[in-house]
Structure 1
Amino acid sequence: MIISATHNSFTNPIKTSTNFQQQKKPDSAISLLQICKNVNELIQVHSLLIKTSLIHEKHAFGRLLLSFASSGEPDSFIYTQKLFDTIELTRNTFIYNTMIRAFLNHGYPREAFLVYYKMLCEEVVYFDDYTFPFVFSACSKLFAGFEGKQAHAQMVKYPVRFGTHSWNSLMDFYIKIGETGLVVQRIFDEIENPDIVSWNCLLDGYVKLRELDNARKVFDEMPDRDIVSWTTMLVGFANAGLLSEASCIFNEMPEQNVVSWSAMIGGYVKAGCCKEALELFKKMQVAEIKIDKITLTSVLTACASLGALDQGCWIHAYIDKHGIDVDAHLATALVDMYSKCGRVEVALDVFRRSPDKKVFLWNSILGGLAMHSRGKEAVELFSEMLNGLTKPNEITYICVLSACSHSGLVDDGLQIFRSMTKESNVVPTVEHYGCVVDLLSRAGLLYEARHIIKTMPMEADSSLWRTLLGACRIHGDVNLGVEVGRFLVDLEPLNDANYVLLSNIYAVGSRWDDVWSLRKLMKARGVNKRPGCSSIELNGVAHEFIAGDSSHPQTRDICQLLIQMANHISRDEGDDLAQYI
């Protein structure tokens, strides 16, 4: 939309702008608007204003329009539109601003901008400090950069200097459409008296653009900081994985609220530091900070990663005890936690009880069933999904194909793969082909799997070849395994997993000279096998173990117990297993 209308007359716009504080005292009929509790009562006052002819006064009409626009009832917005469209008065600034905000608050940003355009064409109507914040908000929701920049131009060439609030909204608009930090900084520099909101807008812009060095510079230069300033800087560091810097900000905060605690816990979870996340969550409870759904979702994710079932069950009980609404996101976290902790039946119960089954919740339970090799149930649940209102996405098909793969349901898996484009208009990606390769490979159909890899419409990545190589070892096909393994070693010469898999293939074929040569090649190329890692939860505490690491305080006791178990098994089977501990 090209904005070409301009104001020809700029004489004293502030005096002509409608301001309630400068209007005459309201009539008693108008005062009734303040005590109306629903749309029906507002309609009665509307009738009264018509009978008393007060409806023809702009002040009275503006108050009536504002009352309908501010009501949360669905019918009130329709009534607001009718009032605005049928008005016999000349619309003033307040009436236009009210309608722009009404459209915006009810989720119609395009219509809100069109009202602004009509306002622009009315050459006798002037903008005030309430106009542009609504307009820029509408443009940011529409991601309408061109229209927003035109509104910016109108604001700049207007003869009146707008207040800080309008400039703050302009900065927020440019941040949301992804403009550079330099643009936002220039707008900030134009503000005569930047307030704390101005500084926070600039800081938020740099954080969202991931320009953390500039964000830190702004943070250090701020004359005053509030909880928003500290939390914005904390979120920036946490989302970037800079946990040391985030922790410093968190510890220096004069006041820590639920948002800052949640951001810090979420940062640990995102970085894979789930043990630290649970420890911080315990400190949050000691500090008696009210826990919200976002925090609980992050903590459940940490429990799922660590297999911390006891902690996850406690959180579930906390949710039930405090009557916290389990939305689709929280239900998904619960389903994921129970699935990864081996309690798939409870995961199914949580899924069934959830009233809001969004696609990611379906994906979570399908993935959980796949994890536990319950393919038949996954296929049945997937059929239920197809017959319902939720449309599957790319991840849904990955989950159900994985379930078929883990349960050996070759025919079901191939049928679902062939129908995905027709049923759900989902185009297969390399991940979907990877599931099919895994499906065929697990079933021993190795050459069919290789055919899929070679004929798929996109280039296969190394993970698909690695899947086939692992299957060659399991099914004892040494020749195909050696062919694929050598190809992978040449493709990724620094990936230790390729050498390990190829070495296993040589071992299956008793080709020990090749095993030794491969190890020499690894050493010559500086490739080291990454140590294995496992974790276990005991009494609410997660314990992590890494191969070759003896830092755990009970390492000696654990090793002694393992030796006793190995000796016990050795007596029954005749093998000396204790030598490997």
Structure 2
Amino acid sequence: MLLHHPPFPHFRDYKSPPSASPSSTPRLHYSLSLPSLCENPKELAQVHSLFLKSSVLTTSFAYNSLIRSYTTSGDPRSALILFCELHLNPDVHPDRFTLTFVLNACARCSTFVRFGKQVHALMAKSQFEFPTQTWNSLMSFYLKSGADAAHLSWILNGMKNPDVVSWNCLLDGYVKMGDLISAKRLFDKMPYRNVVSWTTMLTMFANAGLIDETRRWFEQMPQRNMVSWSTMIGACIRAGNYSEALTLFREMLDIGVGLDEITLTTLLSACARLGALEQGRWIHAQIDKRKLKFDCHLCTSLVDMYAKCGEIDRAYDIFRGFHDKKVFLWNAMLGGLAMHSRGKEVILLFSKLCDSGIKPNEITFICVLSACSHSGLVDDGLHIFSAMEKDYGIKPTIVHYRCIVDLLGRAGLIDEAKKLVEEMPISADGDIWRALVGACKLHGKTDIGVEVEKILLDLDPFDDGNYVLLSNLYARDSRWKDVARVRRKMKDKGLQKLPGCSSIEVHGSIHEFIAGDLSHPSNVEIYSLLNKLSEHILMSDEGMNHNISQHQADMAWYM
């Protein structure tokens, strides 16, 4: 029976290993290089068995090679069991590098925290002088185990010859704690710094959402690597600066910095947000050109990008061509189809997902219910909603209830939607009430909107969107006194309507527009065309009724 973790051996002091060269013969040297060539634990176990049969496992170098390879192949448990065997072997002594590999194995899994601490105790008791590399591995182990920076600092202060890796490990500890002041203070006094030091600080500012400070730090860096560029690009995307992120990516390629899947996934997300189809296609071409590893995360980002940029059939082709589908890839495809109001296809694809043996999750049902809402599939949506907990063991969240309220509301079943909101087992949030008000506006049910007004404004009194939504509801019914009253309330709260923002890609360049903005170089031509379109709408049959009221309400916000 396997123990929960390998039994730690009794203490035995380290000695300098007997002189034995692992490369005394070419055949032996080749044999000892085999573990590093293995691609998975199964192949490594076969090499291990071969070592035992051929009596190769007679030196610390051979043991170290296997311990390190077990760790890097994702089997730290076998690495630690092998270390225990080495420690109890009277004929072979661990050498000065052994504990470095053992601590790396302990850092790979939270199950082995106790084992790692015992290794630390062994190091403290031993009179053997361990190299800086081993102490660095100890610091890394404690960092990954969740130890605070004070513990790392204590280890660093006890080291005879700390190097830049040692200082970077402590710096990373402060960053992971979110202690910006201590991290900056340590960075300023570090005797050595390298690109990792600078990138760690860059990551700290980026994670804190300090985009201006992140940008300044990036510009000051004496040297940048792929991680630095990826961090800066990711910070821009989180801040909503998608165009800047794409510009940085082009600069990154121009100077020959390598690419990784994480950076490309992040950039495709920016293209999706901007609707930058041409740039997304260009990134896709870079993936093919450079023969980068096409994993499920990257495939998901491509599907999401093409779907959000209007190329839903291209997204579907990529989805069908990828074989190792995870649930998040299915969700991206379902969400893309839902966005394009292809509800029937969503339900068919959902059925295929269930038949594939992959278990749907909460996000899956949000995508499917949203598709039913946008496609008017009321019966299908209600059936799937009722099956969530009964058939799939997933308890509906507030987001799922919001989808059903929207489903009923869009279908004109306002009373049923209101009843669901009042009887649902979760307290309704502002989004659910807004969905109900939006349905009332769509179907002219102003009376229910009046009932909801007080509830909505009590829930989110400082959300400008609530006042705009209610004002538009009353404007649809030409209730101008109520429109004025709602806007007066908004003014009393010191709120202003946030202007809408949109973007479009033309010949590979991103053009962003904000309502009421005159900064675009072609603003005269743009507004001239908008005025003609507005006149055309107002002169149409529908424009002669409620669209006139709505147009007047919309224009009033910018007057």
TM range (shorter): 0.7 to 0.9
- Alignment-derived partner of residue 130 in structure 1: 97
Residues in 1 aligned to 2:320 and 2:364: alpha-carbon distance in whole angstroms: 17
- Cα–Cα, structure 1 residues 435 and 570, in superposed 2: closer, same or farther, change >3 Å? closer
Residues in 1 aligned to 2:210 and 2:540: alpha-carbon distance in whole angstroms: 52
Candidates 208, 213, 216, aligned match of 2:176: 208
- Alignment-derived partner of residue 190 in structure 1: 158
CA contact under 8 A between 1:482 and 1:505: conserved in structure 2? no
Residues in 2 aligned to 1:327 and 1:4: alpha-carbon distance in whole angstroms: 38
- Cα–Cα, structure 1 residues 410 and 564, in superposed 2: closer, same or farther, change >3 Å? closer
- Cα–Cα, structure 1 residues 116 and 293, in superposed 2: closer, same or farther, change >3 Å? closer
CA contact under 8 A between 1:247 and 1:264: conserved in structure 2? yes
Deviation at 1:211, TM superposition (A): 2.4
- Alignment-derived partner of residue 28 in structure 2: 33
- Cα–Cα, structure 1 residues 181 and 107, in superposed 2: closer, same or farther, change >3 Å? same
Deviation at 1:227, TM superposition (A): 2.5
- TM-score normalized with structure 2 length: 0.87
Residues in 1 aligned to 2:367 and 2:500: alpha-carbon distance in whole angstroms: 26
- Alignment-derived partner of residue 297 in structure 2: 329
Between 463-472 and 101-110, report the one with greater CA deviation.
101-110
CA contact under 8 A between 1:297 and 1:330: conserved in structure 2? yes
Deviation at 1:407, TM superposition (A): 0.6
Candidates 187, 190, 196, aligned match of 1:222: 190
Deviation at 1:149, TM superposition (A): 2.1
- TM-score normalized with structure 1 length: 0.84
Structure 2 counterpart of 1:14, one-letter code: K
- Map Cα deviations across residues 68-106 of structure 1 (whole Å, 9 max, x no partner): 533416664233443677799997755554443343233
- Alignment-derived partner of residue 232 in structure 1: 200
Residues in 1 aligned to 2:75 and 2:21: alpha-carbon distance in whole angstroms: 33
CA contact under 8 A between 2:36 and 2:65: conserved in structure 1? no
Residues in 2 aligned to 1:290 and 1:256: alpha-carbon distance in whole angstroms: 11
Between 393-402 and 521-530, report the one with greater CA deviation.
521-530
- Cα–Cα, structure 1 residues 92 and 289, in superposed 2: closer, same or farther, change >3 Å? closer
Secondary structure of the 1:545 match is strand
- Alignment-derived partner of residue 72 in structure 1: 38
- Cα–Cα, structure 1 residues 388 and 25, in superposed 2: closer, same or farther, change >3 Å? closer
Structure 1 counterpart of 2:236, one-letter code: Y
- Alignment-derived partner of residue 507 in structure 1: 475
Between 409-418 and 288-297, report the one with greater CA deviation.
288-297
- Alignment-derived partner of residue 528 in structure 1: 496
Between 169-178 and 97-106, report the one with greater CA deviation.
97-106
Secondary structure of the 1:494 match is coil
Structure 1 counterpart of 2:434, one-letter code: R
After TM superposition, the structure 1 = structure 2 runs for residues 375-524 of structure 1, keeping only pairs within 5 Å, are 375-524=343-492
Q: Which has the larger radius of gyration?
A: 1
Deviation at 1:219, TM superposition (A): 2.4
Candidates 78, 85, 93, aligned match of 1:111: 78
- Cα–Cα, structure 1 residues 282 and 92, in superposed 2: closer, same or farther, change >3 Å? closer
Deviation at 1:502, TM superposition (A): 2.4
Residues in 1 aligned to 2:455 and 2:169: alpha-carbon distance in whole angstroms: 53
After TM superposition, the structure 1 = structure 2 runs for residues 3-82 of structure 1, keeping only pairs within 5 Å, are 6-7=10-11, 10=13, 13-15=14-16, 17-18=17-18, 22-23=19-20, 30-35=25-30, 66-72=32-38, 76-82=43-49
CA contact under 8 A between 1:231 and 1:259: conserved in structure 2? yes
Residues in 1 aligned to 2:434 and 2:55: alpha-carbon distance in whole angstroms: 75
- Cα–Cα, structure 1 residues 78 and 572, in superposed 2: closer, same or farther, change >3 Å? closer
- Cα–Cα, structure 1 residues 318 and 3, in superposed 2: closer, same or farther, change >3 Å? closer
- Cα–Cα, structure 1 residues 562 and 431, in superposed 2: closer, same or farther, change >3 Å? closer
- Map Cα deviations across residues 229-249 of structure 1 (whole Å, 9 max, x no partner): 222222332233222222223
- Cα–Cα, structure 1 residues 102 and 570, in superposed 2: closer, same or farther, change >3 Å? closer
Structure 2 counterpart of 1:176, one-letter code: K
After TM superposition, the structure 1 = structure 2 runs for residues 134-173 of structure 1, keeping only pairs within 5 Å, are 134-144=101-111, 145-173=113-141
Residues in 2 aligned to 1:564 and 1:539: alpha-carbon distance in whole angstroms: 25
- Cα–Cα, structure 1 residues 128 and 388, in superposed 2: closer, same or farther, change >3 Å? same
Candidates 271, 296, 304, aligned match of 2:239: 271
CA contact under 8 A between 2:22 and 2:59: conserved in structure 1? no
- Alignment-derived partner of residue 100 in structure 1: 67
CA contact under 8 A between 1:152 and 1:170: conserved in structure 2? yes
Residues in 2 aligned to 1:385 and 1:301: alpha-carbon distance in whole angstroms: 24
- Cα–Cα, structure 1 residues 472 and 161, in superposed 2: closer, same or farther, change >3 Å? same
Secondary structure of the 1:513 match is helix
Candidates 313, 320, 338, aligned match of 1:370: 338
Residues in 2 aligned to 1:280 and 1:2: alpha-carbon distance in whole angstroms: 48
Residues in 1 aligned to 2:280 and 2:39: alpha-carbon distance in whole angstroms: 39
Residues in 2 aligned to 1:268 and 1:180: alpha-carbon distance in whole angstroms: 29
Between 319-328 and 77-86, report the one with greater CA deviation.
77-86
Q: Percent identity?
A: 49
Between 476-485 and 80-89, report the one with greater CA deviation.
80-89
Deviation at 1:418, TM superposition (A): 2.1
Residue 556 (str. 1) matches residue 556 (str. 2): no
Residues in 2 aligned to 1:158 and 1:84: alpha-carbon distance in whole angstroms: 30
The count of aligned residue pairs is: 543
Residue 538 (str. 1) matches residue 533 (str. 2): no
Secondary structure of the 2:511 match is strand
Secondary structure of the 1:332 match is helix
Secondary structure of the 1:159 match is coil
- Alignment-derived partner of residue 316 in structure 1: 284
Between 335-344 and 311-320, report the one with greater CA deviation.
311-320
Between 302-311 and 288-297, report the one with greater CA deviation.
288-297
CA contact under 8 A between 2:6 and 2:77: conserved in structure 1? no
Between 301-310 and 562-571, report the one with greater CA deviation.
562-571
Residues in 1 aligned to 2:490 and 2:504: alpha-carbon distance in whole angstroms: 32
Between 289-298 and 360-369, report the one with greater CA deviation.
289-298
Secondary structure of the 2:15 match is helix
Deviation at 1:276, TM superposition (A): 1.1
Residues in 2 aligned to 1:112 and 1:456: alpha-carbon distance in whole angstroms: 52
- Cα–Cα, structure 1 residues 105 and 535, in superposed 2: closer, same or farther, change >3 Å? closer
CA contact under 8 A between 1:129 and 1:165: conserved in structure 2? no
Deviation at 1:338, TM superposition (A): 1.4
- Cα–Cα, structure 1 residues 516 and 169, in superposed 2: closer, same or farther, change >3 Å? same
Residues in 1 aligned to 2:361 and 2:243: alpha-carbon distance in whole angstroms: 32
Candidates 176, 180, 204, aligned match of 2:144: 176
Residues in 2 aligned to 1:72 and 1:307: alpha-carbon distance in whole angstroms: 43
Residues in 2 aligned to 1:182 and 1:232: alpha-carbon distance in whole angstroms: 18
Secondary structure of the 1:14 match is coil
Structure 2 counterpart of 1:242, one-letter code: L
Residues in 2 aligned to 1:528 and 1:549: alpha-carbon distance in whole angstroms: 16
Structure 2 counterpart of 1:376, one-letter code: K
CA contact under 8 A between 2:22 and 2:61: conserved in structure 1? no
- Map Cα deviations across residues 506-562 of structure 1 (whole Å, 9 max, x no partner): 334544333322222222222222222222222222121222222223223322333
